[in-house]
Amino acid sequence: MNMPVKKTMLALSLLLVSICTWSQVKTLPDFNFVRMDNDAPYTQKNILPGKKTFFIFFDTECPHCMQAISEYNDNEKAMNNINMVMITRDPKKDVVPFLKNFGPKLIVKQNVTVLSDKNNQFIARFLPRKFPSMFLFNKKNQLMLYSDEEKDIPRFLQLIKAQ
């Protein structure tokens, strides 16, 4: 599928989600994504138990995503004790330079996983409204905070740092 068609389909999917009266997920849903580094499957079973889990759904052409990932990169030490999952529908050839530019401290961390949503599951399972969509789940995989606004990054950082 060419890139303009893919972007149009994504925009329509996000529009549908925003029009519907669905609420964000309350617990971590089942999913099956692919690791960007080695193409291995990645499911909820791969998430280390006993830690908060932070998902950020991003697009490499989204200026708000650039800002959000840069801000988390600047606060990378706060991200040490969580499972951080960065997920996108963009191809690896676009994601690698994007993350090297906006998240270089994040992508080298052992607890950060970059995933590809090759099967287009994220929107249907997590119900994001727009980019970037950020989901913080507690140690029991219950949703603590959802936002798609960069202004809420300090709230995420505060909750991430809290034991």
Alpha carbons 150 and 48: distance in angstroms, whole number = 26
Gap between the Cα atoms of 29 and 77, Å rounded: 27
Helices (H) and strands (E) in the chain, counts: 5, 7
Q: What pLDDT is attached to residue 163?
A: 77
**What does pLDDT average to over the chain?**
90
Task: Reply yes or no: is the peptide bond before residue 97 cis, omega within 30 of 0.
Answer: no
Predicted TM-score (pTM) of the model is 0.86
Go through the chain and tell me how many residues it has. 163
pLDDT computed for residue 21 by the predictor? 39
Cα separation of 39 and 16, whole Å?
Answer: 29
How distant is the alpha carbon of residue 83 from its chain centre?
11
Domains and CATH numbers, the chain: 3-161 (3.40.30.10)
Spell out the residues 6+ positions from residue 90 whose beta carbon is closer than 8 angstroms to its own: 59, 60, 61, 98
Enter the tokens of residue 128: 């994001």
Q: Pick the closest to residue 150 from 65, 60, 88, 58 (CA basis).
A: 65
Distance separating alpha carbons of residues 86 and 99, to the nearest angstrom? 10
More confident of the two residues 6 and 38: 38
Residue 23, pLDDT above cutoff 80:
no
pLDDT tens-place string over residues 47-106: 999 999 999 999 999 999 999 999 999 999 999 999 999 999 999 999 999 999 999 999
Closest listed residue to residue 33, CA positions, set 156, 123, 135:
123
**Beta pairing class for 112-116 and 83-88:** parallel
